[in-house]
């Protein structure tokens, strides 16, 4: 297992290199002048040129890229053009908030999705099955920003139960976590139901029923664990998507995470912050996929990475 993990970590290097090239080219080929935004509307042409030189934007693109890449290997993601603080410092301030929000959202998504999907499969063609799948379909189709605004209107404005913005205690986390996790819960529920229906139709489940085992034992001890392999894949992918997809939710709720930092950096054309943030998000996504692969062997002993 350790050799497999080490090999996967080595495979990440060319992937992250390709991601860095794409990020760099997209940012630098988009029309607009970051130096002009930093300098402000009243700055003279000489001031803009001085700022462009200080940001290194007056050099050829290959020179800019390899200079930035060399700094990345040394753990230096550059300095934010807007705050003049190191990008690593900005990320240290915001990443814990995003991880907290994402973990809360994925816990909600797994609890609701796996629970609803399992019950819907066991009670196939029942009222609960139809209702839960309709709700799941609506959850997949509902935009997160609209859901966030509706939850804010109901629980913060109408009922005055929860705060609308900021980061603080558990009450500040409820609305953004539910908003972020709703879509993932819907997808997990649908995949869990499909996987459970496939497992419940296998021979060993019928044998377990024939032995006189209770429905609860058959479902929880035999069916659920074997049905979780495709569900784990979806959970891992959704967790990666939530890390990157928290941008909208954090903006709606003014939550001080990586997503909000990225939106502000894009508005200001802050190249170092955008490049560093996207690279870190890509690394997190790759690590999540590695963890998912390792979990396969835990849930299914037949899977070996030796």
Residue 282 resides in a domain: yes
* Segment among 29-38, 79-88, 94-103, 261-270 with least mean pLDDT: 29-38
Out of 22, 45, 76, a domain closes at 76
Judgement on whether residues 131 and 240 belong to the same structural domain of the protein: yes
Residue 5 resides in a domain: no
User: What pLDDT does 203 receive?
Assistant: 79
Residue 291 resides in a domain: yes
User: What pLDDT does 107 receive?
Assistant: 92
Cβ–Cβ under 8 Å, residues 56 and 67: yes
Residue 208 resides in a domain: yes
Judgement on whether residues 273 and 156 belong to the same structural domain of the protein: yes
Residue 249 resides in a domain: yes
* Segment among 192-196, 207-211, 230-234 with least mean pLDDT: 207-211
Residue 265 resides in a domain: yes
Model pLDDT for residues 206-230, shown as the tens digit of each residue: 787 787 777 777 777 777 777 888 8
Task: Give the CATH number for residue 153.
Answer: 1.10.3720.10
- In whole angstroms, what is the distance from residue 10 CA to residue 69 CA? 17
DSSP string for residues in 81-134: TTT-SBHHHHHHHHHHHHHHHHHHHHHHHHHHHHHHHHHHHHTTTSHHHHHHHH
**Residue 41 domain boundaries:** 32-76
Mean per-residue pLDDT of the chain = 83
Residue 290 resides in a domain: yes
**Of 75-79, 182-186, 252-256, where does the model show the most confidence?**
182-186
- In whole angstroms, what is the distance from residue 10 CA to residue 279 CA? 16
Judgement on whether residues 165 and 217 belong to the same structural domain of the protein: yes
Judgement on whether residues 152 and 232 belong to the same structural domain of the protein: yes
Model pLDDT for residues 129-167, shown as the tens digit of each residue: 899 999 998 888 888 888 888 988 888 888 888 887 777
User: What pLDDT does 301 receive?
Assistant: 60
Residue 21 resides in a domain: no
Judgement on whether residues 168 and 264 belong to the same structural domain of the protein: yes
Question: Mean per-residue pLDDT for 251-258?
Answer: 85
278 CB-contact burial (10 Å; exposed 0-12 / middle 13-18 / buried 19+): buried
In this predicted structure, the answer to whether residue 256 has a pLDDT above a threshold of 80 is yes
Judgement on whether residues 191 and 140 belong to the same structural domain of the protein: yes
Domain count, the chain: 2
Judgement on whether residues 155 and 40 belong to the same structural domain of the protein: no
Judgement on whether residues 227 and 117 belong to the same structural domain of the protein: yes
User: What pLDDT does 265 receive?
Assistant: 85
Give the closest residue to 95 by CA, choosing from 287, 299, 293, 295: 287
Judgement on whether residues 160 and 238 belong to the same structural domain of the protein: yes
Judgement on whether residues 55 and 203 belong to the same structural domain of the protein: no
User: What pLDDT does 245 receive?
Assistant: 67
Judgement on whether residues 37 and 162 belong to the same structural domain of the protein: no
Q: Which two tokens stand for residue 132?
A: 């839960």
Judgement on whether residues 198 and 113 belong to the same structural domain of the protein: yes
User: What pLDDT does 157 receive?
Assistant: 86
Q: Is 135 left (phi over 0), alpha (psi -120 to 50) or beta?
A: alpha
């Amino acid at each position: 297992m350790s050799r497999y993990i080490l090999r996967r970590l080595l495979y990440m290097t060319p992937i992250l290199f390709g991601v860095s090239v794409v990020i760099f080219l997209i940012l630098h080929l988009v029309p607009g002048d970051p130096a002009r935004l930093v300098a402000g509307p009243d700055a003279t042409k000489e001031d803009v040129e001085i700022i462009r030189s200080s940001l290194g934007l007056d050099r050829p693109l290959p020179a800019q890229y390899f200079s930035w890449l060399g700094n990345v290997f040394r753990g230096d993601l550059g300095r934010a053009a807007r705050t003049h603080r190191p990008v690593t410092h900005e990320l240290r301030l915001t990443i814990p908030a995003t991880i907290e929000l994402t973990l809360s959202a994925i816990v909600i998504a797994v609890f609701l999705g796996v629970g609803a999907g399992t019950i819907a499969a066991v009670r196939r063609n029942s009222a609960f099955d139809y209702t839960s799948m309709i709700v799941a379909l609506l959850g997949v189709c509902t935009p997160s920003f609209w859901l966030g605004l509706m939850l804010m209107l109901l629980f913060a404005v109408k009922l005055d139960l929860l705060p609308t913005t900021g980061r603080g205690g558990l009450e500040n986390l409820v609305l953004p976590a539910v908003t972020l996790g709703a879509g993932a819960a819907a997808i997990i529920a649908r995949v869990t139901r499909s996987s459970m229906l496939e497992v419940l139709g296998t021979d060993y489940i019928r044998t377990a029923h024939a032995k006189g085992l209770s429905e609860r034992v058959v479902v929880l001890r035999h069916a659920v664990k074997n049905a979780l392999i495709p569900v784990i894949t979806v959970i891992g992918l959704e967790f990666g998507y939530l890390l990157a997809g928290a941008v909208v939710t954090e903006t709606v709720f003014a939550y001080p995470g990586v997503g909000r930092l990225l939106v502000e950096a894009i508005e200001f054309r802050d190249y170092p912050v955008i490049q560093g943030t996207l690279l870190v998000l890509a690394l997190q996504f790759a690590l999540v996929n590695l963890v998912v692969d390792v979990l396969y062997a835990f849930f299914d002993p037949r899977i070996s990475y030796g």
